């Protein structure tokens, strides 16, 4: 029988509940269990596809084309599994389904109410993965914080599940702040948060405390006493340099063993050694590789939000670690180059440059200028989705003498739309149907023999995930190829350009896909790995000044 581990959060948002959930899953997987995870997002949006990245972080794309909250990315990276889109549940989805059933008369004349009809719909969705596959354990992370208005029905649903007879462990993640003036860790917010949870009818089995320094015995005793749990079930989750190391913190406290004990499951085999060696190796790396990410989704108020590109950052890390390098990531706001072109020379100080995916116009010309600069100055370049489209625009303008070349997304009236709509997108856009209508999910590509891309993947057919509305215009492929650009991968029917590269450059590779979504800690994405190898080669050169002003 499947067991559920329900993860809730308290005190503040942004505690790293996703990483905590993924780490619990990883530890259980290491102990031989078949694990998957569900993310509940209490917002009304049906998926994360229409959310601005600075609002909610990166949009994660699943194999089956779901546009989901970035926590699903943590689960996939930690657990090394593909998670389907049905394992993300939002208020919007749940209510749409209930209203549709009501309109079809499926409730047989009953008054349709939040309890039990909405909670039943939630429970059905939580139980679905276990019906489709034989999982031992399913983690369910409930987004938001206890006390939020919008997640009450989800909490109510998981409360009912225990009563229904499901095997359940409740884990509550809280924050223990240290007040500067006192220099003392305070447990009161945790006590209040657990009080709120218990008012809903949920007694946590474990409390995970997010703390700066490991939790001391005095605080542990206090939390146990006031929150009605055993001291050993208060788990300390102190700050770590590398998020993958949270798993080791949990192992030291025998968290997995305690969960299994509560669920009456046996502790199976343990393959921690490889994982532990991997984390230890990362800690010891001392040579840096300097990677610039030229983007625009950085600003939120006065702070910068690297969450918008989290999978790209993780993919850079995985590849750097694979090459025994410590990644040093520099955020470069492309708008800077539009105002001050002389700043482009800062790129000389980097070992490699990435232009990641993106939508809309702001900062786009700065990105094109950056691509031209790295192409002409032999700086390793990796273009992802928009980063490939702009590489094509730049090459058309500056190497193929099509001065007015552009993407239809940037300039609707361009005489040379080298990047244009995927044909079926025209009607969709005219009717403003923006949700889940772009080219989404995993698609195959056939690679051209002897190209860099084919050598990196080591095979002729690959699958990567996509999320885009525009593509290389087939009418310009011949001109671009004559100009020296190599399309190293195409869709099986030969129509869509999926990969490109430039010979005679240390590394100029771009893809219409998002290979970052398939990168895993111990299995880097081949394109990122090749990019880091080239960057490592460049960092050995001495003819570059270190960069001075990187924003
Ligand atoms: N805006 C571009 C498109 O829709 C690129 C999208 C992306 O980078 N994910 O095609």
Among 392, 491, 508, 389, CA closest to 448:
491
- Read off the pLDDT of residues 389-423 as tens digits, 9 standing for 90 and up: 999 999 999 999 999 999 999 999 999 999 998 77
Q: What single string gives the DSSP state of each residue in 303-324?
A: EE-GGGGHHHHHHHHHHHHHTT
Cα–Cα distance for residue pair 530/457, rounded to 1 Å: 10
Q: CA nearest 320: which of 486, 519, 502, 164?
A: 519
pLDDT tops 50 at residue 160: yes
Ligand 1 atom showing the smallest separation from residue 359 Cα? 1
Q: How confident is the model at residue 548 (pLDDT cuts 50, 70, 90)?
A: very low
Residue 318, pLDDT above cutoff 60 = yes
**Residue range 355-364, pLDDT digits in tens:** 999 988 889 9
pLDDT at 117: 97
Give the percent of the chain with pLDDT over 70.
Answer: 92
| pLDDT tier for residue 183 given thresholds of 50, 70 and 90 | confident
Which residue CA neighbors atom 1 of ligand 1 most closely? 359
Q: How far is it, in rounded angstroms, from Cα 388 to Cα 471? A: 9
Of all protein residues, whose CA lies closest to atom 9 belonging to ligand 1?
357
Mean pLDDT of 358-378: 94
State the pLDDT at residue 456. Answer: 96
Asked if residue 551 has pLDDT above 60, the reply is no
Helix then strand then coil, in percent of the chain rounded to 5, is 40, 25, 35
Please state the length of the chain: 551
Mean pLDDT of the chain, nearest integer: 91
Model confidence pLDDT, tens digit, residues 237-259 = 998 888 999 999 999 999 999 99
Answer whether 3-50+80-279 and 286-538 agree in fold.
yes
Report the pLDDT value the prediction gives residue 545, as an integer from 0 to 100. 43
Q: Separation of 402 CA from ligand 1 center, angstroms?
A: 22
Give the pLDDT band (50/70/90) at residue 544: very low
Give the pLDDT score at 41. Answer: 94
pLDDT category at 434 given cuts 50, 70, 90 is low
Residue 548 corresponds to which tokens in the numbers above?
Answer: 């001075």
Nearest-angstrom CA–CA distance, 125 and 119: 10
Q: Closest Cα to residue 457, out of 529, 387, 516, 521?
A: 529
Residue 428 has pLDDT above 70, yes or no: no
208, 20 Cβ separation under 8 angstroms: yes
- The conformation of residue 138, written as its DSSP 8-state character, comes to E
CA dist., res. 498 & res. 446, Å (int): 9
Q: Is 467 touching ligand 1 by the criterion CB < 6 Å?
A: yes
18 lines ligand 1 (CB under 6 A): no
- Cβ of 60 below 6 Å from ligand 1: no
Contact of 272 with 244, CB cutoff 8 Å: no
Residues 157 and 119: beta-carbon distance below 8 Å = yes
Residue 467: how many CA atoms within 13 Å on its side-chain side?
Answer: 26
Longest dimension (CA), the chain: 78
Could you tell which of 389, 391, 410, 429 is best to mutate to test the pocket of ligand 1, judged by most ligand atoms within 8 Å of the CB? Answer: 389
Average pLDDT over residues 23-40: 94
385 catalytically annotated: yes
Q: How confident is the model at residue 13 (pLDDT cuts 50, 70, 90)?
A: confident
Exposure string for 144-177, b = 16+ CB within 10 A, e = fewer: bbbbbeebebbbbbbbbbbeeebbbbbbbbbbbb
pLDDT at 74 over 60: yes
Q: Report whether 137 contacts 260 (CB < 8 A).
A: no
What is the third-level CATH fold of 3-50+80-279? Rossmann fold (3.40.50)
DSSP H stretches of helix in 104-245: 119-132, 152-164, 188-200, 217-227
The pLDDT of residue 301 is: 47
How far, in Å, CA of 66 to CA of 45, rounded?
13
Phi, psi of 198 (to 5 degrees): -70, -30
Domain residue extents for the chain: 3-50+80-279, 286-538
User: Own/partner pairs for 116-119, CB < 8 Å, 24+ apart?
Assistant: 118/94, 118/153, 119/153, 119/156, 119/157, 119/160
Cα–Cα dist 170/194, whole Å: 11
Q: Is residue 549's pLDDT more than 50?
A: no
Q: Is the C-beta atom of 26 inside 6 A of ligand 1?
A: no
Q: What is the CATH number of domain 286-538?
A: 3.40.50.880
Catalytic status, residue 516: yes
Phi, psi of 286 (to 5 degrees): -130, -5
Q: Which of 139, 70, 18 is nearest to 517 (CA)?
A: 70
Q: Looking at ligand 1, which residue's alpha carbon is closest to its atom 7?
A: 357
Task: Choose the residue to mutate in 469, 513, 514 for probing ligand 1, maximizing ligand atoms within 8 Å of C-beta.
Answer: 469
Q: How confident is the model at residue 115 (pLDDT cuts 50, 70, 90)?
A: very high
Is it the case that residue 225 has pLDDT exceeding 90? Answer: yes
3-state secondary structure of 528: helix
Question: If pLDDT is split at 50, 70 and 90, which confidence band does 179 have?
Answer: confident
Per-residue pLDDT tens over the stretch 503-528: 989 999 999 999 999 999 999 999 99
Pocket flag, ligand 1, residue 309 (CB < 6 Å): no
Nearest to 244 by CA among 205, 284, 282, 285: 282
Six-digit token string for 454? 């084919």
CA distance 536 to 551: 22
Residue 267 — pLDDT band, cuts 50, 70, 90? low
């Amino acid at each position: 029988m499947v067991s559920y581990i329900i993860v809730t959060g308290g005190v503040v948002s942004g505690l790293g509940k996703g990483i905590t959930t993924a780490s619990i899953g990883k530890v259980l997987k290491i102990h031989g269990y078949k694990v998957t995870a569900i993310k509940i997002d209490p917002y009304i949006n049906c998926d994360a596809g229409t959310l601005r990245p600075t609002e909610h972080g990166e949009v994660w794309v699943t194999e089956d084309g779901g546009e989901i909250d970035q926590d699903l990315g943590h689960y996939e990276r930690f657990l090394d599994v593909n998670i389907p889109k049905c394992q993300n549940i939002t208020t919007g989805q749940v209510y749409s389904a209930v209203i549709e059933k009501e309109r079809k008369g499926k409730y047989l004349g009953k008054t349709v109410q939040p309890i039990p009809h909405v909670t039943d719909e939630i429970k059905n969705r939580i139980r679905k993965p276990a019906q489709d596959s034989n999982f031992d354990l399913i983690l369910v992370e409930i987004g938001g914080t206890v006390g939020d208005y919008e997640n009450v029905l989800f909490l109510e649903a998981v409360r009912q599940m225990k009563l229904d007879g499901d095997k359940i462990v409740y884990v509550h993640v809280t924050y223990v702040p240290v007040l500067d003036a006192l220099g003392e860790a305070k447990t009161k917010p945790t006590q209040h948060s657990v009080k709120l949870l218990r008012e809903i009818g949920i007694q946590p089995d474990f409390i995970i405390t997010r703390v700066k320094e490991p939790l001391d015995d005095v605080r542990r005793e206090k939390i146990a006493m006031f929150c009605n749990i055993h001291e050993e079930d208060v788990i300390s989750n102190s700050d770590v340099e590398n998020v993958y190391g949270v798993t080791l913190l949990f192992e030291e406290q025998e968290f997995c063993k305690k969960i299994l004990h509560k669920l009456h499951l046996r502790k199976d085999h343990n393959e921690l050694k490889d994982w532990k060696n991997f984390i230890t190796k990362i800690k010891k790396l001392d040579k840096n590789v300097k990677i610039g990410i030229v983007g625009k989704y950085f600003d939120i108020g006065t702070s910068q939000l690297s969450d918008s590109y989290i999978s790209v950052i993780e993919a850079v890390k995985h590849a750097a670690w694979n090459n025994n390098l410590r990644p040093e990531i520099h955020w470069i706001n492309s708008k800077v180059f539009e105002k001050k072109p002389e700043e482009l020379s800062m790129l000389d100080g980097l070992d490699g440059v990435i232009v990641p995916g993106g939508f809309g116009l702001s900062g786009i010309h700065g990105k094109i200028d950056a691509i031209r600069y790295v192409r002409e100055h032999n700086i390793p370049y990796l273009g992802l989705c928009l980063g490939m489209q702009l590489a094509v625009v730049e090459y058309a303008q500056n190497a193929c003498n099509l001065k007015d070349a552009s993407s239809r997304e940037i300039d609707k009236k361009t005489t040379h739309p080298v990047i244009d709509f995927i044909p079926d997108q025209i009607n969709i856009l005219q009717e403003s149907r923006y949700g889940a209508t772009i080219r989404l999910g995993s698609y195959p590509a056939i690679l051209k023999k002897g190209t860099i891309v084919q050598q990196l993947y080591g095979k002729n057919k690959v699958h990567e995930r996509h999320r885009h509305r525009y593509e290389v215009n087939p009418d310009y492929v011949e001109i671009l190829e004559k100009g020296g650009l190599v399309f190293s991968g195409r869709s099986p029917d030969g129509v869509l350009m999926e990969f490109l590269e430039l010979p005679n450059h240390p590394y100029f590779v771009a893809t219409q896909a998002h290979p970052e979504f398939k990168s895993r800690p111990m299995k880097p994405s081949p394109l990122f790995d090749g990019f880091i190898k080239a960057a490592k080669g460049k960092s050995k050169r001495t003819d570059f000044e270190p960069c001075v002003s990187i924003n």
